[in-house]
Amino acid sequence: MSENDNKEKVPNDFAIGLVTFIVFIIFMTAWMYFFT
């Protein structure tokens, strides 16, 4: 279980960063849509 938790930490960090990046792009697009 410890090995699985350790290996799951790396992809989880990458997934969090990817999701944050996608959300940021969506937020910026929505901002542009609302402001333009």
pLDDT digits (tens, 9 = 90+) for 1-36: 556 666 666 678 889 999 999 999 999 999 999 887
pTM comes to: 0.55
Map tokens 């969506």 to a residue. 26
Q: What distance in Å separates the CA atoms of residue 12 and residue 19, rounded to the nearest whole number?
A: 10
The boundaries of the domain holding residue 14 are 1-36
Q: What distance in Å separates the CA atoms of residue 18 and residue 6, rounded to the nearest whole number?
A: 19
**pLDDT for position 35:** 85
Number of domains, the chain = 1
**pLDDT for position 22:** 98
**pLDDT for position 13:** 86
Token pair in block for residue 11? 């992809």
